[in-house]
Structure 1
Amino acid sequence: MKFTSLRVYFFVFIFLLVVQSCKKDEGGNPGPVKIDASQWGSFVPVSWYNMELKLLKETPGFTPPIAARAIAYTGITLHETVVRGMENGTSLSGQLDGLAYLPSHEENLRYNWAIAANAAMADVIRSLFGNASQEHLDMIDALETENLLELSTTDFSQEEIDRSIQFGKLMANAIYLWGASDGGQGAYLNNFPINYTPPQGAGLWIPTPPLFQSAMLPYWGKNRYLIKANKQVAGQIAAAPAFSATSGSAFYQSADAVYQKGNTLTSEETIIARYWADGTGTFTPPGHMIAITSQLIKDNNLSLDKASQLFAKVGIALNDAGILCWQVKYRDNLIRPVSYIQRYIDSNWMPLIGTPPFPSYFSENASFTSATSILLADYFGESYAFTDNQKIDDGFSPRSFTSFNSMADEAAISRVYGGIHYQFDSEIGKSGGLAIANKVLELKY
């Protein structure tokens, strides 16, 4: 009987302890509580991509493939920082080629994931734009400070803020060091390597008027793809159409179609060609794509976690589309329309927009826009209508589209209107972008 009473007292004591513990938790003195990244909006990454777009315009050497690379590593850094605060998020470690060892956070401690993202993006952009001017470096410092002040609320202690900053910086450094071995490190300092000699022969690329620059980034196609499987895509891209100077041949007709279109452009076709030119001194075609992505993320009020996933997807696709395009360009070394037309059709003809200094086949603009359109359609829907407002500051009116595919179609045909690509360049470019995007969609985020 005495033993039974003791057991009763024991269980009552344990019950009271449990009740007291629950009351303590309800009383506002709990242990650290994990904060989910979905609690923040997208203003931090949007602000940093706006900064990156400015840098792409104003920093020497950031040609389209190099711009795509910078955009990609920025997005991966963002994602890998924020994914630690996603309940069901998946790291890209082990999925992207060579990405294996990344900093880990402490599971039982609190982080402000927006502050971590702010620190990470600031540091990786500083590193990626290694030749940025002091004025631009000061702008990066100022934006980092401005965002931090906006995010430093009384909900987080200084210790938690410092911990978040430190984690973001560690992640930025890890991603940058991994990227340094991809073959594109510092390429902004040497877009035109002097040790490259282009092959010679009928139908092969030659420097184009009016600048007659040497070949740009001839080795870029040898860079490491972010998705290893994309290395096989180039083998699936058919060789460029057989060259022929014979009047009436299929190749002649392709060139003549560019010539005839260049001579009969409507005012709308002229606007389209110039709108999508995105040449020297602009944010480049990859920058245009990330600018549209950023606009849609902001317009749709995406949370930090969702924004980081979408930015990463588009960035990875742009990088790998650039490598694929350059791999095929220098595999086939196809003559540009202006060179063909001046030699075989009309020696005085010039295209509407300047021909960039690399082979024709296939169109990088078509590839970049196609890949991005597939990813945006996957997220927002195939029939999502939107307006591109990204070139108002450049003097263009906004352009509206009924779908992402219609945007990709317009961007692709713009290169024919501009006189710098054959129709088949644009068609194969779209196919290449599609193949890259499909691989990106197979990853887990």
Structure 2
Amino acid sequence: MKQIFFFLSVIVLLSACKNNGEYKKVMHDPILFSQTVHELNGIVMGNNFSPVVATRNYTYASIAAYEVVAAGNSKYHSLADQLRGLNTLPQPTDAQQTDFPFAALLAYCKVGSAVTFPEGSMDAYVDALKQKAKDAGMPSKIFDNSVNYADAVADAVLDWSKKDNYAQTRSASKFTVTQEEGRWVPTPPMYAQAVEPHWMEIRPMVMDSASQFRVPPPLEFNMKDTNSEYCKQVMLIKNAIENLTPEQEEIANFWDDNPFKLNVNGHVMFGTKKFSPTGHWQSIIGIAAQKANADFDETVYAYTKTSIAMFDAFIQCWDAKYTYNTARPETVINKYIDPNWRPLLQTPAFPEYTCGHSTVSSAAAEALTSVFGDNFSYKDTTELEFGLTSRSYPSFRAAAIENNWARFYGGIHYHSSCITATEYGRKVGDFVANKLRMKEGEDRVAPAADTTHYY
């Protein structure tokens, strides 16, 4: 009888180990986290959020997931007291009976769907995650503890997010358009109002203020003197667009990342959607993490660090945009040279200087370089779902430099603006990557090589 009882006990124990191993294999898969980010990315795209607002969704959601990971892995440090206004976060009541990757997924979804959306936009996806955990054999106690801990961290992050001045900027004054030469005015075909003119008032994550990395003034507007530096930049972009090579057009379209393009064909108008600039980089993070064979926790870490860098980079850039309020090339060329000239890409509805996409791309490149190292080659397959071919890069910094040219090839930014944006986005990314202490053993990131190749 004792032998039978012993063998039954062994069978039960082996079965339990098998179940534990099964649910961990399923729920701890780093690709599952990237799939969850992609799910939020699709929701953001579907709701036409501007690039800056989209970044807010990704960043707070990633922070919630990261805080859960940090609570379960001593290699990672909480961002409490590292990010502005973020204080002590909840700790698990029973760490031994909590599945932290599963909780991180749930926390990400709860925050991501609540930051700017009506709550519940990811409910169906969350239900599927929970069912996946149950089907994989997650014990009920661990399941319940994980759900409860995810809710606690998500609620704390959401409470913190509500103090970043976003709500106040919803009712702030609209941008006032003036007829002063060289100042921004709405552009065709939408002639939309200026997007988020108060975004520089959003609380930064790591920077001291929106103006900490204030860019120098743009070139002085001067279309009367054909030898002025400003006029030279205007003619440079006009001539470039009129003589684009197929490769240059491909580069511009690959990095277009227009969350809502208005297509006009006679009396017919319809919109097409793509991932925003930060949505594109969310995809790149996942591609890099998978190539690096990063585990679940490191994958969350990469998303979080990069998102924070882009969050602050957009605040820095919007401070520049609405400090100087410069006109777009399309506006200047139409008024002074050719009323029928159009850029390759649709001009976004905010001032020209500096370039937002170049700013956040160079900031993201610095953050990702700090995680995966320089000279990390990868193939960017992000645009396949939008009918574009993939492009390969020898490093994240190389991708950011190509993006620099892409905005010029698109006809929406002077190249001098892209150069400044890239340099200052890099400053923000370097600052965030080196100031945050997120992972044990992090070293200071070596600065990029010379910037002469920007030209």
Q: TM-score range with shorter-chain normalisation?
A: 0.7 to 0.9
Shift of residue 222, structure 1, vs aligned partner: 1.3
> Partners in 2 of 1:186 and 1:142 — Cα distance?
31
- For 1:163-242, list aligned pairs within 5 A: 163-185=145-167, 195-229=174-208, 231-235=210-214, 237-242=215-220
> Partners in 2 of 1:352 and 1:155 — Cα distance?
53
* C-alpha contact (below 8 Å) 2:84/2:206 kept by paired residues: yes
Find 1:103's aligned residue among 61, 71, 90: 90
- For 1:315-394, list aligned pairs within 5 A: 315-394=307-386
Query: Residue 400 of structure 1: SS of its match in structure 2?
Result: strand
Aligned length: 401
> Partners in 2 of 1:333 and 1:154 — Cα distance?
55
Residue 123 (1) aligns with residue 110 (2): yes
Q: TM-score, normalised by structure 1?
A: 0.85
> Partners in 1 of 2:417 and 2:319 — Cα distance?
14
Aligned to 2:263: none
> Partners in 1 of 2:421 and 2:244 — Cα distance?
22
Query: Residue 204 of structure 1: SS of its match in structure 2?
Result: coil
* C-alpha contact (below 8 Å) 1:234/1:328 kept by paired residues: no
Shift of residue 347, structure 1, vs aligned partner: 2.2
* C-alpha contact (below 8 Å) 1:412/1:426 kept by paired residues: yes
Find 1:40's aligned residue among 28, 38, 61: 28
Aligned to 1:9: none
Shift of residue 267, structure 1, vs aligned partner: 0.9
Aligned to 1:64: 51
**1:254-284: CA deviations, max 9, x gaps?**
1110000010001111111111111112111
- For 1:270-349, list aligned pairs within 5 A: 270-279=249-258, 280=260, 281-349=273-341
Shift of residue 300, structure 1, vs aligned partner: 2.9
* C-alpha contact (below 8 Å) 2:201/2:210 kept by paired residues: no
Q: Report sequence identity in percent.
A: 26
Residue 257 (1) aligns with residue 239 (2): no
> Partners in 2 of 1:103 and 1:375 — Cα distance?
27
* C-alpha contact (below 8 Å) 2:222/2:230 kept by paired residues: yes
Aligned to 2:447: none
> Partners in 2 of 1:97 and 1:118 — Cα distance?
24
Structure 2: tracts of 5 or more residues without a match: 1-12, 14-20, 261-272, 439-455
CA RMSD in angstroms comes to 2.3
**1:120-168: CA deviations, max 9, x gaps?**
1221122124248x8xx3xx23322332333347875312220111011
Query: Residue 104 of structure 1: SS of its match in structure 2?
Result: coil
**1:234-266: CA deviations, max 9, x gaps?**
33x111111111222110001110000010001
* C-alpha contact (below 8 Å) 2:211/2:319 kept by paired residues: no
Find 1:150's aligned residue among 119, 129, 132: 132
> Partners in 2 of 1:107 and 1:88 — Cα distance?
19
Alignment CA distance shift 1:337-1:221 (3 Å): same
- For 1:136-147, list aligned pairs within 5 A: 137=121, 140-147=122-129
Query: Residue 181 of structure 1: SS of its match in structure 2?
Result: coil
**1:306-364: CA deviations, max 9, x gaps?**
11211110110111111111111000101111111112222221111111111000001
| Bigger relative CO (Cα 8 Å, ≥ 6 apart) | 1
**1:149-194: CA deviations, max 9, x gaps?**
333478753122201110111111111111112122497x78xx66
Aligned to 2:417: 425
> Partners in 2 of 1:185 and 1:48 — Cα distance?
26
Aligned to 1:19: none
Query: Residue 113 of structure 2: SS of its match in structure 1?
Result: helix
> Partners in 1 of 2:256 and 2:391 — Cα distance?
14
Q: TM-score, normalised by structure 2?
A: 0.83
Query: Residue 382 of structure 2: SS of its match in structure 1?
Result: coil
Which letter maps to 2:132?
E
> Partners in 2 of 1:184 and 1:429 — Cα distance?
24
- Structure 1's consecutive aligned runs of 4 or more residues displaced over 6 angstroms after TM superposition are none
Shift of residue 108, structure 1, vs aligned partner: 5.8
* C-alpha contact (below 8 Å) 2:94/2:145 kept by paired residues: no
Shift of residue 57, structure 1, vs aligned partner: 1.4
Aligned to 2:144: 162
Alignment CA distance shift 1:318-1:85 (3 Å): same
Alignment CA distance shift 1:231-1:213 (3 Å): closer
Structure 1: tracts of 5 or more residues without a match: 1-27, 29-34
